[in-house]
Amino acid sequence: MNKIEFLVTLLVGFILGVLATRFFYSAAIDLMTILLILAVIIFIIIFLKIRKALAKKPNQN
C-alpha cells in the first residue's frame, strides 16, 4: 500500500508541476487551467478522505 500511495503522490506532484508551469508561462489564465487545478485539488481531497477511511478500517487480509 505504501508503494501505491508513493506512486499516486508522485503522479499528483507531476500533474501539479505541469499545471504550475503552464500557469506561469501563459499570459492569460484560461478557463481550462482553472478547471484542471480545481479538479486536482478535489482529487487530492477525495484521496485523503479515502486514505483516512482505509486507515480507520482494520486490515482484512
What residue segments make up the domains of the chain, in order of their start?
2-56
- pTM beyond 0.85, yes or no: no
Torsion (CA) 29, 32, 34, 37 in degrees, nearest 10: -130
Give the per-residue pLDDT at 54.
79
DSSP summary character for residue 26 = -
19-23, 26-30, 47-51: range with highest mean pLDDT: 47-51
Give the per-residue pLDDT at 1.
61
Torsion (CA) 17, 7, 50, 31 in degrees, nearest 10: 20
Is residue 29 over pLDDT 70?
no
pLDDT band with cut points at 50, 70 and 90 for residue 58? low
- More confidently predicted of 1 and 55: 55
